[in-house]
Structure 1
Amino acid sequence: MTASALPHAEQRRRVITTPEGLALPLVIASRGARAGALILDVMIILFALITFHIVLIAVAGGLLDTAGASVSNDPTGAAEFLQILLIIGVFLSWYGYFLVQELGPRGATLGKRILGIRIAARGQARLTPEAVIARNLLRDIEVFYPLVFLVVSAVSALAGEDTGPMIWAAVGWFALFLLLPFFNRDGLRAGDIIAGTWVVEAPRVRLAEALSTTQAARGTSATSGARYTFGPAELGIYGIRELQVLERLLRDGQEQALVTVHQTICTKIGWEPGAGDERAFLEAFYAALRAKLEKDMRFGKRKADKFS
């Protein structure tokens, strides 16, 4: 079966290897979902700015009425001050909206969260503030600057002004960046390529059903009789995402993978990795980690992954 014959969702599936040696599957977000998230975000920002503008005018008008003045009586000072506040509000809303939310633990704006997607670092790298800032600054160059340039050129042409090749330059600029995600398999835009990021599907994170294993419940090895117990510091190295990956690993039961992960976890928590009892150790670690995460979530503490 060729790649073109595969379902579209299957073509977007990727597998990355974590530093612990775990194979972590993910799905690249569709181009439609990304476009829809951007439209939602822009609508949210515009609604917030319009509301801010109305409130600003109302508050300023009330203050001037109290002082016995009005904007019409002092058109320069009052109007310029309101314009400055509005410009500051636009700047903070536009850049702050994307940066603050994507720098957060969810790595997604409201629009992305509504459509179930988020940004992530490609490969084994961690998502850094520099990458988030870079991809957001490039968005203006990719979309909004050429779009404004195109609209201004079109309006000038309709008004009878000679724009020369300006309008075609604007069309080419806009089309170049707009079509770029269609020419790479991961749907990367220029900002993603430069920042080393991609946008992936992020279904609502929740703890999976517990493994129904007596070993995990007791934390005792049926082979050696050893009882495994872990402290808060040892369990604090991982979060919900790693718990789910560990559960998939235990369900698959691939011995070599169990050995690799057992050695990795032992090294991280300062234990001397033994041999022959890997499954019992991992089941006990899974049960203890799950219990800790569930307890923390009941108290409002949510650890999404090891970086949280």
Structure 2
Amino acid sequence: MKPRKPKSGAGNAKRERTLVTPEGLAIPISIASRGSRFGALVIDWLIIITVMTLIRMLIGYASAGAMNEGVNTANEAVSGAAEFLVVVQLILLFLAWYGYFLVQELGPRGATLGKRAVGIRVASRSGGRLPPEAIIARNLLRDVEIFFPLVFILVALIMNSMDMDTGNMIWAAIGWLLIFALFPFFNKDALRAGDVIAGTWVVDSPRTKLADTLSTQGAAAKGSSDVTGARYEFGEAELSIYGERELQTLEKMLRDAKPEALTTVHATICNKIGWDPGAGDERAFLEAFYGQLRAKLEGDMRFGKRKADKFS
């Protein structure tokens, strides 16, 4: 009798997808829930608002003296130093608002602090590396989707409090906001408009450590096959092709993938490193490659060298 899955996992099953990499590898992933994406956005905005507030306070303290000294009794013009500080403040605020998302999502983790906190990351729907233009596009669209309509609503509320006629401005802004805010609820992958334009999606990325048992059993530990007795030893050049991201992917494949999927992974790695070990011993080959690649990356990290992925 097949064991029944708990009800809590029903939603997870609906979010399961298969990501096909440019190398032809089929990797199982899980689409991030809408709740986790909202939680990550709230955390990120709290961080950004805190940073921007600190910037304004620091620039305010720095410019206070210049402003007091630079006031001209005739036209009340501020000094050049105060004007310079105002420009610096605007630049820093701009970098804090846009740079926060761009710098972190362009990194190897593809995630901001908020996304890391809830265990999700941005990924390319094509399975390849995230191009800079995709990250820029999805983050610029966020302003159009959320920030601009919120500003219009705030402005309309202020104008109404001053008995100024705003017409249907506030309702138009609310409609604008709702269209984009509800967009992820009308597609199965929970994509927002920015994801559609950029060709991205947000997936689960749980923080897990590589289990010791995988590197201390089978060919990963011995370097040789229990089936054929063949010994697999890889050189520096062969192990330098891949990095931490590929190691984690290989670990997941060894744990979860079906034999036919391992055959594809085996063929891909052999093609990359120029090996032709034949067929029938794919798992032992991959276990040995995993064990030696992990040992190399861990050794490099002790000397302060990290290789995030094959592009590093």
TM-score, normalised to structure 2, is 0.86
What SS does the aligned partner of 1:258 have?
A: helix
Counterpart CA distance in 2 for 1:210 and 1:11 is: 30
Counterpart CA distance in 2 for 1:201 and 1:87 is: 35
What SS does the aligned partner of 2:47 have?
A: helix
Of 167, 172, 193, the residue aligned with 1:169 is 172
What SS does the aligned partner of 1:76 have?
A: coil
Runs of 4+, deviation exceeding 6 Å: none
Structure 1 residue 186, shift from structure 2 partner: 1.2
Verify: 1:260 aligned to 2:261, yes or no.
no
Counterpart CA distance in 2 for 1:255 and 1:165 is: 61
Amino acid corresponding to residue 298 of structure 1 in structure 2? R
Q: Which residue of 1 aligns with 2:290?
A: 286
Of 50, 62, 65, the residue aligned with 1:59 is 62
Aligned residue runs from structure 1 range 44-193, under 5 A: 44-61=47-64, 64=66, 70-72=69-71, 75-78=76-79, 79-193=82-196
Of 205, 220, 224, the residue aligned with 1:220 is 224
Kindly report the root-mean-square deviation, in angstroms, between the aligned alpha carbons of the 2 structures: 2.7
Structure 1 residue 6, shift from structure 2 partner: 6.5
Percent of aligned positions that are identical: 59
Q: Which residue of 2 aligns with 1:305?
A: 309
Q: Contact 2:108 / 2:309 at 8 angstroms: preserved in 1?
A: no
Q: Contact 1:22 / 1:245 at 8 angstroms: preserved in 2?
A: no
Q: Which residue of 2 aligns with 1:246?
A: 250
**CA 1:162 to 1:195, structure 2 compared with 1: closer, same or farther past 3 Å?**
same
Q: Which residue of 1 aligns with 2:39?
A: 36
Verify: 1:23 aligned to 2:22, yes or no.
no
Deviation string 1:12-47 (CA, Å, 9 cap, x unpaired) is 222212334433222222212212222222221221
Counterpart CA distance in 2 for 1:73 and 1:135 is: 46
What SS does the aligned partner of 2:17 have?
A: strand
**CA 1:146 to 1:214, structure 2 compared with 1: closer, same or farther past 3 Å?**
closer
Structure 1 residue 184, shift from structure 2 partner: 0.8
Amino acid corresponding to residue 243 of structure 2 in structure 1? G
Structure 1 residue 229, shift from structure 2 partner: 1.4
Matched residue count: 302
Counterpart CA distance in 2 for 1:15 and 1:114 is: 24
Q: Contact 2:218 / 2:284 at 8 angstroms: preserved in 1?
A: no
Which stretch of the first structure deviates more once superposed, 181-190 or 215-224? 215-224
Structure 1 residue 188, shift from structure 2 partner: 0.7
What SS does the aligned partner of 1:206 have?
A: coil
**CA 1:255 to 1:85, structure 2 compared with 1: closer, same or farther past 3 Å?**
closer
What SS does the aligned partner of 2:69 have?
A: coil
Q: Contact 1:262 / 1:282 at 8 angstroms: preserved in 2?
A: yes
Structure 1 residue 9, shift from structure 2 partner: 2.4
Structure 1 residue 121, shift from structure 2 partner: 0.7
Amino acid corresponding to residue 197 of structure 2 in structure 1? I
Q: Contact 1:177 / 1:190 at 8 angstroms: preserved in 2?
A: yes
Of 190, 194, 202, the residue aligned with 2:205 is 202
**CA 1:149 to 1:201, structure 2 compared with 1: closer, same or farther past 3 Å?**
same
Q: Which residue of 2 aligns with 1:270?
A: 274
Counterpart CA distance in 2 for 1:32 and 1:5 is: 15
Where structure 2 has 5 or more consecutive residues not aligned to the other structure, the ranges are none
Q: Contact 2:19 / 2:26 at 8 angstroms: preserved in 1?
A: yes
Counterpart CA distance in 2 for 1:12 and 1:254 is: 20
Amino acid corresponding to residue 204 of structure 1 in structure 2? R
Q: Contact 2:219 / 2:288 at 8 angstroms: preserved in 1?
A: yes
Structure 1 residue 141, shift from structure 2 partner: 0.6
Which stretch of the first structure deviates more once superposed, 74-83 or 256-265? 74-83
